[in-house]
A and B are shown apart, each in its own frame.
Chain A
Amino acid sequence: DTGVSQDPRHKITKRGQNVTFRCDPISEHNRLYWYRQTLGQGPEFLTYFQNEAQLEKSRLLSDRFSAERPKGSFSTLEIQRTEQGDSAMYLCASSLGLGFGYTFGSGTRLTVV
């Protein structure tokens, strides 16, 4: 399977805990995106990387959120001091770049209790 892989698929955490999600993009894709999707809504952009450089961050991404893509391969999204409002599906996508569509992973569903 050469699709976008996300781990874990589901995460339940207590409010105030830190969580980290991982995304493995399609190997030749140099762009990687993180989106957040709440129930009944379209995905909302969080941040994106071209290779290892983080080129844009949404204002939705508070200082409790941080993302990395070391060596331009896999990426991690960390949420510190989780809040109930962070409960959502976190989607990762990758693409070859300009002129190419995205391939999304199946997402990590976060539930903060």
Chain B
Amino acid sequence: QQQVKQSPQSLIVQKGGISIINCAYENTAFDYFPWYQQFPGKGPALLIAIRPDVSEKKEGRFTISFNKSAKQFSLHIMDSQPGDSATYFCAASLEASGSRLTFGEGTQLTVNP
């Protein structure tokens, strides 16, 4: 059962543009929503995370927007750079159950110079 759905599967953006990746979740008990960045041959690295009591969180060029009623959240990468080219995963967890993460399928982002 896929509890976190991510789109698009792949995304091509020009340098300086905005990259937007969307996720939808089913389990309303989820209470922690991180985004991970993964480069080939490496493990995922935590980028930014949000909890459902806030609607937006910004860290540098990365912003999470969270819509609790729609059960959706998204990652915005401002001023996208070629070095941002990687696979991005959204995830969700229920901290009371040990914080095990349920990941989306991933988005392959390519930023052209």
Contacts and interface: CB of A to CB of B under 8 A. Distances in A.
Interface residues of B, number: 24
Contact of B34 (A4, A35, A101, A106): A101
Contacts of A91: 43-44
B67 interface: no
A107 B99 CA distance: 20
B100 to A, nearest CB: 5
B65 interface: no
Interface stretch (B14-22, B54-62, B73-81, B102-110): B102-110
B103 A31 contact: no
Interface residues of A, number: 27
Contacts of A105: 43
Given A40-B106, A42-B105, A106 B98 contact: no
B64 interface: no
Interface in A48-85: 48, 50, 55-56
B95 interface: yes
Interface in A98-113: 98-99, 101-107
Given A42-B91, A42-B106, 16 more contacts: A4-B43, A31-B99, A33-B100, A42-B4, A42-B104, A42-B105, A43-B101, A43-B103, A45-B100, A56-B100, A91-B43, A93-B43, A101-B46, A102-B99, A106-B41, A107-B43
20 contacts: A4-B43, A33-B100, A40-B105, A42-B89, A42-B104, A42-B105, A43-B44, A43-B103, A48-B98, A48-B100, A50-B98, A56-B97, A56-B100, A98-B95, A99-B95, A102-B99, A102-B101, A104-B43, A106-B41, A106-B43
Interface of A: 4, 31, 33, 35, 40-45, 48, 50, 55-56, 91, 93, 95, 97-99, 101-107
